[in-house]
Amino acid sequence: MKKFTKAIIFFLAIVAPLLIVTVALRQPPRDNSQLEALRAGYPVRHQSGVDHSKMEILQKDFTNPHEITAACLSCHTERGVELLHSAHFAWEREAFIPGRGVTYLGKKNLLNNYCTGVQSNEGSCMKCHAGYGWNSKEFDFGNPLNIDCVVCHDNTGTYAKATGGGGYPVMGAGGPDFKAILGSMGLPKSENCGNCHFLGGGGNNVKHGDLEMALLKAGRNVDVHMGVDGAHMNCVDCHSAENHVMKGRYYGVSSTNDNRLSCEECHTGFPHQKTILNEHSVKVACQTCHIPVYAKVNPTKMYWDWSTATRKKDGKGYEIKDAEGNQIYASIKGDFVWQKNVVPEYAWFNGTADHHLLTDKVDTTQAFLKINTLFGEYRDRNSKIIPMKVHRGKQPYDTKNLTIIQAKLWDKEQGKGALWLDLEWERAIEEGMAYVNMPYSGKHDFIATEMYMPVNHMVSVSSEAVSCKECHTRENGRLASLTDFYMPGRDRNEWLDISGKLLLIMSFAGIVVHAAIRIMASRRRAMNHQL
């Protein structure tokens, strides 16, 4: 019986704890059912209920693009009015911004850190407007016939707007084949979106860094959603639209926390097997871990210094390219810095933003001017840490009136003050400021600027997600700049740590001394005993 007890005690004391530890540490088998269901849902191809090539009204020989819109609206009777209110056409949104009240802001009137703004340059910029004929302030935003339906719905990939045409395509000979194009009309493809959203800022990947032409052909290693060897999703699979209002926000132009697109809509709030990862979502956006780098294929512009523009060689403008072929200087634009495989910077963001307006004063005491401001902090329940591209640069400003300068950059011909043609600042500034009805003191300089662009695309495969230690580390972690909260593994109280270590050292020293005296005393006793 006693032997039996010993065996039981042995089991309880040694084997049972080991068993418990083993069971506790056992990894549960991966359960991918949620992801598999999503994957199974996407290959279902959208079957259009209409074959536009069978529509007689679309087979005419169009000489005027407005007539195309009229033809579209003859069937889709209510879509025109719908479009008039969409951001793709109006280029502004109604938004309440604390401190400003109700505002109407958008690409139409906002600044950006690239070409400063569209005003006075409409003829060129409106190549990316979903409309026809926005050449000047006189453009009629209330006329549905000014809408360009084709630019988004062409499924042949052959439609193109003319350069410097204020949004018009070339018509007739040398123009696109409208019979084929109108016959193909359907849901937008990624190519349609990409024509503007990939090429914005003057070239491929210049602006966003996470949106570029390579996404059309790249694999899952670049973008896990759009990868041709994966789900091969289209932009509109996520950026769905109701009455032409697309889901998703870009905070270079948006200000409010609504109609945002979130990963959770498909992936739910519990996408991970490990609860602790799901729990991170209280404070950390999915993108923060799942987009470890952006600009994975082609470089993106990180810095744009307008102050060096207008330099000439032999009386002419010139450009310099680096070894990879990136333009690092252009007389018409200034100096650039390009980067590839960029590690994002991070910020707290609650979905609301403010923007520096043309009428706002420049604060020259600050190290740099924020073109846009993303609101958020740790204590704010709606804030999460997001990854962003920070685009830095130098923009012209009026040193007396202390406002950012909107220069005239583009015109069809030389001699009208366009910077890109005449390479002369003063005239370009005068023309531009006159266009926006702003005074110009005659004195300008350049001010350092930053623009914050949340990174949402080029989501990596899960195995490449940011690992714990990249943030939970003492020094140089990814979140080193976000200091308004305590993060285990990164933060500590130095005094507490020093005191704690001292306590341990003193305890140990005390033990050593005590033990030494004990040993010596016992030896002496033993010697005395022998004597």
Partner 1 sequence: MKKHKKVYVYQGFERFWHWNQALLIFILAITGFEIHSSYKLLGFETAVEIHNKAAWGFIILIIFAIFWHFTTGEWKQYIPTTKNLMAQAQFYLLGIFKNAPHPTQKTLLSKLNPLQRLVYLGLKLLVIPVMVISGLLFMFYRYPHGTQIEMINIDNLEIIALIHTAGAFAVMAFVLVHLYLITTGHTITSNLKAMITGWEDLDGVETDENDNDDQQTKTTGNGSE
Taking the complex as a whole, the smallest distance from the CB of residue 531 to partner 1 amounts, in Å, to 16
Burial label for 162, CB within 10 Å (0-12, 13-18, 19+), is: middle
> Of these, 12, 37, 75, 320, which contacts partner 1 (CB under 8 A)?
12
Taking the complex as a whole, the smallest distance from the CB of residue 30 to partner 1 amounts, in Å, to 16
473 binds partner 1 (CB under 8 A): yes
19 binds partner 1 (CB under 8 A): no
Q: Quote the tokens at residue 19.
A: 């068993």
Q: Quote the tokens at residue 276.
A: 């602790």
Distance CA 107, CA 395 (A): 17
Distance CA 244, CA 106 (A): 17
Q: Quote the tokens at residue 109.
A: 């009137």
Binding mask 378-417 for partner 1 (x = CB under 8 A): xx-x------------------------------------
217 binds partner 1 (CB under 8 A): no
Q: Quote the tokens at residue 263.
A: 């990963």
394, 307 Cβ separation under 8 angstroms: yes
Q: What are the start-end ranges of the H helices in 164-254?
A: 178-184, 190-197, 235-238
Distance CA 53, CA 110 (A): 40
454, 349 Cβ separation under 8 angstroms: yes
Taking the complex as a whole, the smallest distance from the CB of residue 286 to partner 1 amounts, in Å, to 12
> Of these, 333, 491, 523, 531, which contacts partner 1 (CB under 8 A)?
491
The residue range among 194-202, 312-320, 361-369, 507-515 that interacts with partner 1, by the rule CB under 8 A, is 507-515
What is the chain's percent helix, strand, coil content, to nearest 5? 35, 15, 50
Taking the complex as a whole, the smallest distance from the CB of residue 239 to partner 1 amounts, in Å, to 23
> Of these, 48, 63, 268, 483, which contacts partner 1 (CB under 8 A)?
268
Taking the complex as a whole, the smallest distance from the CB of residue 484 to partner 1 amounts, in Å, to 9
Helix H or strand E segment including 398: strand 384-398
Taking the complex as a whole, the smallest distance from the CB of residue 493 to partner 1 amounts, in Å, to 5
507 binds partner 1 (CB under 8 A): yes
Q: Which residues within the stretch 269-308 sit at the binding site for partner 1 (CB under 8 A)?
A: 269-270, 275-276, 278-279, 281-283
CA distances from 255 to 84, 105, 198, 350, 369 (A): 20, 8, 22, 10, 18
Return the number of the residue (137 or 514) whose C-beta is nearest partner 1.
Answer: 514
Taking the complex as a whole, the smallest distance from the CB of residue 344 to partner 1 amounts, in Å, to 21
Phi-psi region of 220 (alpha: psi -120 to 50; beta: other; left: phi over 0): alpha
> Of these, 41, 467, 483, 523, which contacts partner 1 (CB under 8 A)?
467
Taking the complex as a whole, the smallest distance from the CB of residue 98 to partner 1 amounts, in Å, to 21
Distance CA 515, CA 510 (A): 8
22 binds partner 1 (CB under 8 A): no
- List residues near partner 1 by CB under 8 A: 9, 12-13, 17, 20-21, 24-25, 268-270, 275-276, 278-279, 281-283, 378-379, 381, 467-469, 472-474, 485-493, 496-497, 499-501, 503-504, 507-508, 510-511, 514-515, 517-518, 521-522, 525
